[in-house]
């Protein structure tokens, strides 16, 4: 038995040493400026926004946008191939994000139309014939779900790149459980407006040929087309002065953009020929020939640079451009920098809606952490004092178990990369409560056994073994509750549930294994006629 | 050392009085909530909160009258430690969700204060500019709250169902019913007190309510465990005696654990800062009612439930005794 005891003691000391090193030591080192090597810091306990200060944004990805882009794209493709096949149809429209319609399919070309349509759309769309040569194409439910899902994934990736470009340390961008919501946490950031602008900019860059305009009046423009724009053209707003100043004007441009932001390889802020801030870009290898073709075939025409459905500028094409270009449009140095950043990180596949935002200033966070830590320490000290008074020497045993619990808990949380929030601190306090309860249960039982005239050793053994089942039941029941908290809770509540669950596991180890080993150690050292309890 | 020397209180005798008292509080709470509503935090109701730090004690009335619409729609109160010169302004509306305008209400608050001669910077307080600035801001659009409420309710229902199943599996069905009734009882009583003292339902308070679920269950299981053990060792006695013995044997432990958890929660209440106050208050009420319910309610429900169950064949011995004995053997 004593040999066994040595191993038990060694295990406990080793476990404590490991968790102290990865959890508690980095905190102390930071506070008291002790040496803090990187391998120790790697897994330090992160502070949540409520403690560290920062911005939290909750956004919804409007995935309908992504569906509409797909429907528009496929319908334009169909328009193109119908033209090539010489099939004349009426209007092609996108009435809802999931559908597009083709009107006036001539009855004699019906079969040819269907073949052409299926070639373009049958993998993604179901074709439904309606009366009078009308066809409706509806996105297949599986495809729709995929597109929505990808839109959210892409949004998260894009935001992640943008946030990294901003230089935020330890950002967290996560998908909320209902799928279309994204929670963004930016520790240390306090300028919400700028953060929102960078994150929320769709940054859909398109190069489209100008057919008519600019003109200050939309009606005048439409008059050139007898009030009815051809199906492959659209009106896009802009402004008479570059960069958004001046009067609103309108352009008629081609709907199809031969080159888009996806063809860009790099973008950086720079200056244009008038020494005004501008954005320089380079094209990817597959983008360069597309841009070369577009610019080479349309020399002398105007090319609209459209960002998020607004014309930034519409320069004249003076020659063939292949691998690089420049966007100038009355930027300031900062807005050129921001645009280059968003272009580099790619466009968002859908627009975003803000659901909630919160900012915790660094001073408020510091107040909270001071308060939380003070409360925890005061609570812990009160508990320890009581244990020592009420259980005398055995109280020391409980104190060791409790402190071990705390050390392992902090170490494990750091190792798991958990984030410490205010409710997380509350979780620590509750864990202490559960830890004390375990010790009280065991000690009270030992007292009862001693009162029943058992020897010290027998009483201790009986105490631990009888209480073990109780502890198992209470811990499992609490874990069940914590699991549901984690499942359905959001941010702070999850932090609480994590702390509590980890704490419950640790507590089983400390209050049973550690505490019992200490009793055994005492028993092995000397004969004990009576226990100080 | 003992708190009670060989306690032998007849807790079971008081079960109907205890149940009556609980109903009284729950009904009073329900009536109060029905009449006055349960104040909901900004996370649930939606709206805008701006926390401002001034260079002197803020004049709350002046802030209120400066707000758009004379502050009719707003709550203005001092925030945190009075010496920190902070004020919290809460407006029940947020800007539109689309685009960047969610924060328009918050910006309007700051602009209004500036117009009224209280210069507040629209940026966050930093170490360089610690005064007359914003220390925190929270804006919640109207759609978020509903989802949170739904999730909170789901978490509670599932947690209770999960625990019901676990206890039914580990003990007997009547025990599970008792534990769940006791827990629902604790939640309702705590809600009543939250309403009486006008605490807002915030995410932290919800976390505390869920913690109480766990705590109350923990307390109840400890006593059940003893009842189960006594059922084996006290086969001759009837269930009421067994339950009473168990509650009395665990009385020291119940008081110590309750008292110590209470100590740490009280520390949280007084030192934990503004944000944790609601959490701590909820926990204080929850621990008191949780301790009370595991002594008076949970065990009583088991007795009442088993008393109702049709007595199975019980020759010779008095009915109650044989029932308890049978249960004990069966468990």
Encode chain B (331 residues) as per-residue pLDDT tens digits. 777 877 888 888 888 888 999 999 999 999 999 998 888 888 888 888 888 888 888 888 888 888 877 777 788 888 877 788 888 888 887 666 554 577 788 888 888 888 888 888 877 787 777 888 888 888 887 777 777 778 777 887 888 888 888 888 888 888 988 998 999 999 999 999 999 998 888 877 887 887 788 888 888 999 999 998 998 988 888 888 999 999 999 998 899 988 988 888 888 888 887 778 888 899 999 999 999 998 888 888 888 888 765 444 333 334 344 344 444 444 3
Contact B303, B231 (CB under 8 A): no
Contacts of B93 in chain A (CB under 8 A): none
A390 CB contacts (<8 Å, ≥6 apart)?
B1, B256
Tokens found for residue A243: 């960069």
pLDDT digits (tens, 9 = 90+) for A412-462: 888 887 878 777 877 887 788 888 889 999 999 998 888 887 788 888 888
Residue in B closest to A500 by C-alpha = B211
Test A489 with B207 for CB contact under 8 angstroms: yes
Contact A236, A304 (CB under 8 A): yes
Strand order in the sheet with A324-327: A264-271, A277-283, A324-327
Cβ of residue B7 closer than 8 Å to a chain A Cβ: no
| A303/B147 Cα distance (integer angstroms) | 46
- Chain B: nearest CA to A346, how far in angstroms? 19
Contact B290, B298 (CB under 8 A): no
Tokens found for residue A216: 């200050």
B106 and B132: one domain? Answer: yes
B193 and B219: one domain? Answer: yes
| B91/A372 Cα distance (integer angstroms) | 27
Domain boundaries A206-333, corresponding CATH code: 3.30.1360.200
A408 CB contacts (<8 Å, ≥6 apart)?
A15, A16, A19, A23, A506, A509, A510
Per DSSP, the three-state class of B45 is helix
The residue of B140, B273, B279, B281 whose CB has the most chain A CBs within 10 angstroms, and thus the best one to mutate to test that interface, is: B273
pLDDT digits (tens, 9 = 90+) for A470-522: 898 889 888 888 888 787 776 667 778 888 889 999 999 998 899 989 888 88
- For B198: left if phi > 0, alpha if psi spans -120 to 50, otherwise beta; the answer is left
Name the residue among A315, A332, A362, A59 with its Cα closest to residue A195: A59
Test B217 with A474 for CB contact under 8 angstroms: yes
Paired sense of beta strands A419-420 and A46-47, if any: parallel
For residue B170, the domain's CATH number is 1.20.1640.10
B235 and B318: one domain? Answer: yes
B282 and B148: one domain? Answer: yes
pLDDT at B196: 92
Test A372 with B127 for CB contact under 8 angstroms: no
Name the residue among B153, B248, B221 with its Cα closest to residue A474: B221
- Strand pairing partners for B138? A358, B49
B136 and B151: one domain? Answer: no
Measured at the alpha carbon of residue B327, what is the angle toward residues B322 and B331, in degrees to the nearest 5?
Answer: 150
Name the residue among A137, A142, A111, A133 with its Cα closest to residue A122: A137
- Chain B: nearest CA to A409, how far in angstroms? 18
Domain boundary among B122, B140, B158: B140
Omega before A214 within 30 of 0, i.e. cis: yes
A412 CB contacts (<8 Å, ≥6 apart)?
A19, A23, A502, A506
Nearest CB partner across the interface for A480, out of B51, B134, B159 = B159
B169 and B128: one domain? Answer: no
Q: How would you class B91 by CB atoms within 10 Å of its CB: exposed for 0-12, middle for 13-18, buried for 19 or more?
A: buried
Contacts of A178 in chain B (CB under 8 A): 147
Nearest CB partner across the interface for B256, out of A196, A374, A440 = A440
- Chain A: nearest CA to B173, how far in angstroms? 15
Residue B6 falls inside a structural domain: no
ipTM of the complex: 0.78
pLDDT digits (tens, 9 = 90+) for A40-55: 666 677 777 778 888 8
**Count of domains observed in chain B:** 2
Test A436 with B53 for CB contact under 8 angstroms: no
Per-residue pLDDT tens listing for chain A (533 residues): 556 888 888 999 999 999 888 888 887 887 777 777 777 666 677 777 778 888 888 888 888 988 988 888 888 888 888 888 888 888 888 889 999 998 888 888 888 888 888 888 888 899 888 888 888 999 999 999 989 988 898 888 888 888 887 777 778 888 876 678 888 888 888 788 888 888 887 777 888 888 887 877 777 778 777 777 777 788 888 876 655 566 788 888 888 888 887 788 788 888 887 788 888 888 888 778 888 888 888 888 888 888 888 887 788 777 777 778 888 777 788 878 888 887 777 778 888 888 888 888 877 777 877 888 888 888 888 888 999 999 988 899 899 999 999 999 989 888 887 878 777 877 887 788 888 889 999 999 998 888 887 788 888 888 899 899 889 888 988 888 888 878 777 666 777 888 888 999 999 999 889 998 988 888 887 666 677 77
Per DSSP, the three-state class of A241 is coil
Residue B223 falls inside a structural domain: yes
CA distances from B179 to A14, A108, B172, B219 (A): 40, 76, 11, 9
Domain boundary among B88, B119, B140: B140
pLDDT at A85: 83
Residue B60 falls inside a structural domain: yes
Contacts of A426 in chain B (CB under 8 A): 204, 207-208, 211, 268, 276, 279
B95 and B148: one domain? Answer: no
Q: Name the CATH code of domain A2-51+361-525 (choices 1.20.1640.10, 3.40.30.10, 3.40.50.300, 1.10.1060.10).
A: 1.20.1640.10
Residue B293 falls inside a structural domain: yes
Domain boundary among B140, B155, B177: B140
| B247/B226 Cα distance (integer angstroms) | 8
B91 and B215: one domain? Answer: no
| A467/A439 Cα distance (integer angstroms) | 10
Nearest CB partner across the interface for A196, out of B100, B167, B271 = B100
Cβ of residue B215 closer than 8 Å to a chain A Cβ: yes
| B273/A368 Cα distance (integer angstroms) | 6
CA distances from A433 to A390, A436, A500 (A): 16, 5, 11
Test B276 with A371 for CB contact under 8 angstroms: yes
- Chain A: nearest CA to B313, how far in angstroms? 32
Cβ of residue B83 closer than 8 Å to a chain A Cβ: no
A47: phi then psi, degrees, rounded to nearest 5: -95, 140
- Strand pairing partners for A259? A207
| A475/A470 Cα distance (integer angstroms) | 9
Q: Which CATH class is domain A64-144?
A: alpha beta
Q: Which domain holds residue B231?
A: 11-40+144-330
DSSP secondary structure string for all residues of A497-532 = HHHHHHHHHHHHIIIIIIHHHHHHHHHHHS--SS--
Residue B196 falls inside a structural domain: yes
- Residue ranges of domains in chain A: 2-51+361-525, 64-144, 206-333
DSSP secondary structure string for all residues of A278-317 = EEEEEE-TTHHHHHHHHHHHTTTSBEEEEETTEEEE--B-
Residue B5 falls inside a structural domain: no
């Amino acid at each position: 038995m004593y040999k066994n005891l040595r191993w038990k003691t060694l295990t406990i000391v080793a476990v404590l040493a490991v968790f102290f090193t990865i959890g508690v030591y980095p905190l102390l080192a930071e506070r008291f400026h002790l040496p803090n090597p990187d391998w120790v810091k790697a897994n330090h306990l992160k502070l949540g926004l409520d403690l560290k200060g920062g911005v939290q944004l909750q956004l919804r990805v409007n995935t309908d946008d992504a569906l509409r882009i797909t429907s528009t794209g496929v319908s334009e493709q169909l328009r193109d191939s119908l033209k090539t096949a010489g099939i004349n149809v009426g209007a092609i429209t996108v009435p809802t994000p999931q559908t597009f319609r083709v009107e006036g399919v001539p009855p004699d070309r019906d079969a040819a139309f269907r073949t052409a349509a299926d070639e373009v759309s049958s993998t993604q769309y179901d074709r439904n014939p309606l009366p009078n040569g009308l066809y409706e194409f509806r996105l297949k439910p599986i495809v729709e779900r995929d597109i929505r899902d990808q839109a959210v994934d892409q949004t998260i990736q894009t935001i992640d790149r943008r946030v990294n470009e901003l230089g935020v340390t330890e950002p967290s961008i996560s998908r909320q459980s209902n799928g279309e919501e994204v929670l963004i946490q930016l520790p240390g950031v306090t300028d919400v407006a700028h953060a929102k602008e960078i994150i929320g900019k769709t940054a859909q860059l398109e190069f489209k040929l100008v057919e008519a305009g600019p003109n200050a009046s939309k009606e005048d423009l439409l008059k050139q087309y007898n009030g009815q724009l051809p199906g492959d053209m659209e009106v896009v707003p802009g402004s008479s002065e570059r960069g958004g100043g001046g009067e609103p004007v309108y352009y008629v441009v081609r709907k199809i953009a031969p080159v888009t932001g996806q063809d860009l390889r790099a973008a950086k802020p720079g200056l244009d020929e008038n020494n005004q801030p501008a954005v320089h870009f380079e094209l990817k290898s597959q983008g360069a020939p597309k841009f070369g073709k577009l610019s080479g075939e349309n020399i002398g025409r105007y090319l609209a640079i459209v960002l998020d459905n607004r014309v930034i500028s519409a320069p004249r094409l003076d020659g063939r451009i292949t691998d690089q270009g420049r966007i100038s449009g009355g930027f300031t140095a900062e807005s050129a920098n921001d645009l280059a950043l968003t272009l580099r990180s790619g466009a968002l596949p859908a627009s975003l809606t803000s659901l909630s935002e919160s900012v915790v200033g660094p001073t408020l966070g510091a107040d909270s952490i001071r308060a939380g830590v003070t409360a925890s320490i005061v609570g812990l000290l009160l508990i320890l004092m009581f244990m020592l008074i009420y259980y005398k020497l055995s109280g020391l045993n409980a104190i060791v178990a409790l402190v071990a619990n705390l050390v392992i808990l902090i170490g494990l949380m750091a190792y798991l990369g958990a984030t410490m929030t205010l409710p997380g601190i509350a979780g620590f306090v509750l864990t202490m409560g559960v830890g004390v309860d375990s010790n009280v249960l065991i000690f009270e039982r030992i007292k009862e056994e001693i009162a029943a005239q058992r020897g010290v050793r027998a009483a201790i053994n009986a105490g631990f073994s009888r209480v073990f089942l109780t502890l198992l039941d209470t811990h499992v029941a609490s874990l069940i509750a914590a699991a549901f908290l984690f499942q359905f809770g959001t941010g702070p509540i999850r932090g609480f549930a994590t702390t509590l669950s980890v704490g419950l596991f640790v507590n089983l180890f400390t209050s049973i294994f550690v505490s019992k080993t200490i009793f055994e150690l005492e028993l092995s050292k000397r004969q004990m006629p009576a226990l100080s309890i | 050392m003992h708190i009670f020397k060989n306690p032998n209180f007849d807790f079971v005798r008081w079960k109907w009085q205890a149940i009556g008292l609980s109903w009284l509080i729950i009904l009073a709470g329900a009536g109060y909530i029905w009449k006055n509503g349960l104040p909901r935090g900004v996370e649930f109701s939606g709206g805008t909160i701006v926390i401002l730090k001034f260079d002197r004690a803020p004049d709350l009335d002046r802030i209120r009258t400066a707000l758009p619409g004379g502050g009719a729609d707003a709550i203005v109160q001092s925030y945190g430690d009075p010496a920190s010169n902070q004020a919290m302004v809460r407006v029940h509306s947020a800007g539109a969700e689309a685009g960047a305008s969610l924060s328009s209400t918050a910006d309007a608050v700051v602009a209004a204060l500036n117009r009224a001669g209280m210069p507040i910077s629209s940026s966050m307080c930093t170490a360089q500019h610690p005064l007359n600035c914003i220390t925190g801001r929270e804006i919640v659009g109207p759609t978020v709250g509903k989802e949170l409420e739904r999730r909170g309710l789901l978490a509670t229902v599932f947690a209770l169902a999960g625990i019901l199943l676990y206890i039914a599996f580990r003990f007997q069905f009547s025990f599970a019913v008792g534990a769940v009734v006791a827990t629902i009882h604790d939640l309702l009583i705590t809600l009543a007190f939250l309403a009486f003292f006008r605490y807002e339902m915030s995410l932290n308070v919800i976390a505390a309510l869920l913690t109480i679920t766990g705590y109350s269950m923990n307390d109840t299981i400890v006593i059940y465990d003893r009842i189960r053990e006594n059922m084996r060792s006290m086969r001759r006695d009837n269930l009421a005696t067994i339950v009473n013995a168990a509650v009395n044997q665990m009385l020291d432990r119940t008081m110590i654990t309750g008292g110590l958890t209470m100590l740490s929660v009280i520390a949280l209440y007084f030192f934990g800062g503004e944000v944790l106050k609601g959490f701590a208050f909820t926990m204080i009420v929850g621990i008191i009612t949780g301790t009370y319910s595991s002594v008076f309610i949970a065990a009583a429900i088991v007795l009442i439930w088993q008393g109702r169950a049709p007595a199975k064949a019980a020759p010779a011995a008095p009915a109650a005794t044989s029932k308890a004995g049978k249960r004990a053997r069966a468990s």
